Amino acid sequence: MGSSDTVASSLGAGAEHLTIAVTGSNGLIGSAVSADLSKKGHRVIRLVRRPPTSADEREWNPDSPQSEMLDGVAAVIHLAGHSIAGRFTTKHKDLIRSSRLEPTRLLAQAAAASGVSTFVSASAIGFYGADRGDETLTETSTPGDGFLAHVVRDWEAAALASQSEQLRVVTVRTGIVQSAHGGALAIQRPLFSAGLGGPMGSGQQWQSWIAIDDLVDIYHLALTDTRLSGPVNAVAPNPVRQREYAAVLGQVLRRPAKLPTPSFGPKLLLGKEGAREIAFASQRVVPARLLELPHQFRFGSLDEALKHVLGK
Whether the predicted pLDDT of 271 surpasses 60: yes
Report residue 205's pLDDT band, with 50, 70 and 90 as the boundaries: very high
pLDDT for residue 257? 87
Whether the predicted pLDDT of 264 surpasses 90: no
Q: What is the 3-state secondary structure (H, E, C) of the chain?
A: CECCCCCECCCCCCCCCCEEEEECCCCHHHHHHHHHHHHCCCEEEEEECCCCCCCCEEECCCCCCCHHHHCCCCEEEECCCCCCCCCCCHHHHHHHHHCCHHHHHHHHHHHHHHCCCEEEEEEEHHHHCCEEEEEEECCCCCCCCCHHHHHHHHHHHHHHCCCCCCCEEEEEEECEEECCCCHHHHHHHHHHHCCCCCCECCCCCEECEEEHHHHHHHHHHHHHECCCCEEEEECCCCCEEHHHHHHHHHHHHCCCCCCCECCHHHHHHHHHHHHHHHHCCEEEECCHHHHHCCECCCCCCHHHHHHHHCCC
pLDDT for residue 16? 67
Q: How much is the mean pLDDT over the chain? A: 92
pLDDT for residue 1? 38
pLDDT for residue 265? 74
Mean predicted confidence (pLDDT) in 33-41 = 97
Fold category of 19-307 in CATH: Rossmann fold (3.40.50)
Domain boundaries, the chain: 19-307
- pLDDT 10s digits, 127-181: 999 999 999 999 999 999 999 999 999 999 999 999 999 999 999 999 999 999 9
User: Model's pTM, two decimal places?
Assistant: 0.93
pLDDT for residue 9? 39
